[in-house]
A = this chain, B = another copy of it.
Amino acid sequence: MSGTHSLDSFVEAARRDVDEALDRWLPTRPAGPPRLAAAMRYSLFAGGKRFRPVLALAAADAVANAHEDARRLALPAACALEMIHTYSLIHDDLPAMDNDTLRRGRPTAHVVYGEGLAILAGDALLTEAFALLAREPAVDAPAVHGRKLRTIALVSSAAGSSGMVGGQVLDLALERRPPDEDDAASALADVHARKTGALIRAAAGAGALMAGAAEGALAAIDDYATELGLCFQIVDDVLDVEGAAKDLGKTAGKDAVAGKLTYPALYGLEESKRRARACVERAHATLAREGLAGRLPAIATWVLERKK
């Protein structure tokens, strides 16, 4: 990540915490089949940016109160979000979906482990994410129980049929039958709000919820994360056009080749970039209005300026 030195060191520490926790919470010497654990870990430790967990921890820090360890409370949710994100990538890459053979510069899970085991590794990551949310942090206090249940409801709703899975269904349908020109803009916005936006909002929301955020702060963080998610997707689309294959670790310009509905295809490169900048400005304004800061503004700037 680029940006201020302060963000760099925050992100580095957050990633270290998340990787260490994922390693601890995911069965290495499992009660289950070792090959399943290997497939789950292959995709989970594939050099992802850990964007969602970093965001969850930043949101937790931004609302932290003096009496509780916000990082400890939010870390399981941060890890669960990464597990759910990883499962979605494994399933999206399958031959029956996007049929991608390369992800982050490495062969995708089904290429390495076969289609059956890849599907099951995704299923297991999704299931274990909820196990983790229910189990950790192991604090037996009514207030924490209540937060955990709200977090599970938030995350499952964001990942489910009206959220992320619904977005992937819409995306598949659009590839098969592109929308009329009149409907293209709303179709594009709808797909991305669900497919990537919902989980990004859930990451920020879950981190804040677990850290005990007040309702006003929760609402502001949700508004912020909505802008952030849209910016993230626009920048993804722009990078697909501008980026080189080796930087992105996947085939650049693939969307354009596939005739996919993207922001640059619909609005052009310059207008897409303008819209991404406008998202970040609105995200900053939302935080300022609620008096929230910490690393959240810098994360928005990073999402805008990232090169991969």
Instruction: List A residues at the B interface (Cβ < 8 Å).
Output: 27, 30-33, 35-37, 40, 87, 91, 94, 96-97, 114-117, 119-120, 122-124, 126-128, 130-131, 133-135, 142, 145-146, 148-150, 152-153, 156-157, 159-163, 165-166, 168-170, 172-173, 194
Contacts and interface: CB of A to CB of B under 8 A. Distances in A.
Contact of A149 (B148, B157, B194): B148
Interface centre among A35, A123, A159 (most CB of B within 10 A): A123
Contact of A165 (B123, B134, B170, B173): B123
A76 B35 CA distance: 33
Contacts of A142: 142, 145-146
Contacts of A172: 116-117, 120
A164 to B, nearest CB: 8
B165 A120 contact: yes
Contact of A30 (B27, B131, B146, B161): B161
Tell me how many chains of this kind the complex includes. 2
Contacts of A40: 161
A134 B149 contact: yes
Contacts of A36: 161, 165-166, 169
Nearest to A145: B145
Contact of A145 (B94, B135, B149, B161): B149
Contact of A161 (B37, B91, B130, B134): B37
A114 B96 contact: yes
B168 A120 contact: yes
Contact of A119 (B27, B30, B97, B148): B97
A113 to B, nearest CB: 10
Interface centre among A31, A97, A169 (most CB of B within 10 A): A169
A163 B276 CA distance: 44
Contacts of A27: 161-162
A135 to B, nearest CB: 5
Interface centre among A36, A40, A120, A127 (most CB of B within 10 A): A127
B91 A119 contact: yes
Contacts of A91: 119-120, 123
A294 to B, nearest CB: 28
